[in-house]
Amino acid sequence: MSRAHNFSAGPAVLPVPVIEALRGSLLEFGGAQAGIMEISHRSTDFGEVIDAAKTRLRRIMEIPDDHSVLFLQGGASLQFYMSALNIARPTDAIDYICTGNWSKKAVQEAGRVCDAANVWSSADTAFDHVPAPDEAIEYRPDSIAVHYTSNNTVAGTQLAAAPNTDRPLIADLSSDICSRRIDVARHAVIYAGAQKNLGPSGVTAVILSPWAVERSRASDAARQGGIPSMLSYDLMVQKGSMFNTPNTFGIFALERVLAWVEEQGGLDYFAERSRRRAAQVYAKLDASDFWRPRARPGSRSDMNIAWRIHDQSLESTFVSEAREAGLLALKGHRSMGGIRASLYNALPDDAVAALVEFLTDFEKRHG
């Protein structure tokens, strides 16, 4: 079977060994005498799967022992609302660093349940940059937490480090989780949809500090009628992610991806590899005026590279010719157009080499 190079922003490419393991588990999983999608979430077999997934994520990300790990449903989009609902009482303030479409949606959703406001935004320059690591951001005196999106898939920007503040952090790591090290202990809430770097869609990894769980209890008590059961961090921690039936197949797939991450060398390996591969593409884009990278140098993402062609009428030709050459899903996000290549962990190195070669060839023929 021939597989094309898949640059999809999500759901994204999966490691071939993981796909093979998933395929084998569909008919019979371990000694269960049934497929992974057919066994009970209350069974010993699945209990071992979810425990292994939690253990691997803790080990890879160096998650403190007192932090909780959950595998929920609803994607990062639900966490925009759920994180604020649990952390803040109705009158509490959360500050937002708005660096793209997804952080814009996050503050809008949070505004339904608390005092949510942007304290930094690059919306006026089409989200082409993020705060510098040493940039002074003026937070509101009464804010209880700061939310940020670490990597922005649409415009192709990425924070070099978490915001420099002593306030608890809430982080959307959906598109760069497990691609580099992060100080988990500084964060009250970390959430990430699985469909970019962790597995197929349908699972959201959530990491909570003890403070976040306690805040969930306080918010529940402060809100008329309390927090709905399905949206309560405290209840989900008590139930071990299984208040209702979780996405059993998705969690198994996530566990297999995490095993692959460890086998490859862990976060230090992927961080160096991501920097090197992105640099190859940016070097090509910066080499002539034919290409127009969206993100400013210093803010550029190692995961998602977005650009235009100087003659924008050529962009549809680029995408169609790339597909014919076996390079899939290079069309930019519908809100911005252009071209985008997502270089997630599972994308093979030869896919990046093929993209650079195609860029060279396309410019030669159309420049």
Catalytic (active-site) positions? 102, 172, 196
- Of 12, 3, 5, the C-alpha closest to 304 is 12
| 3-state DSSP of 250-318 | HHHHHHHHHHHHHHHCHHHHHHHHHHHHHHHHHHHHHCCCCEEECCCCCCECCCEEEEEECCHHHHHHH
Cis peptide before 168 (omega within 30 of 0): no
Answer for the pair 341, 355: CB distance below 8 angstroms, yes or no. Answer: yes
- Torsions phi, psi of 122, nearest 5? -115, 25
CB 200 within 8 A of CB 55: no
CA proximity to 97, closest of 51, 42, 71, 135: 135
How many angstroms separate the CA atoms of 4 and 10, rounded?
Answer: 16
CB 304 within 8 A of CB 153: yes
CA atoms of 360 and 350, how far apart (whole Å): 15
Distance linking the first and last C-alpha atoms of the chain: 35
Q: Are residues 237 and 207 in contact, defined by beta-carbon separation less than 8 angstroms?
A: no
Helix (H, G, I), strand (E, B) or coil at 174: coil
d(Cα 99, Cα 118) in Å, to the nearest integer? 10
Cα distance between residue 91 and residue 105, in whole Å = 20
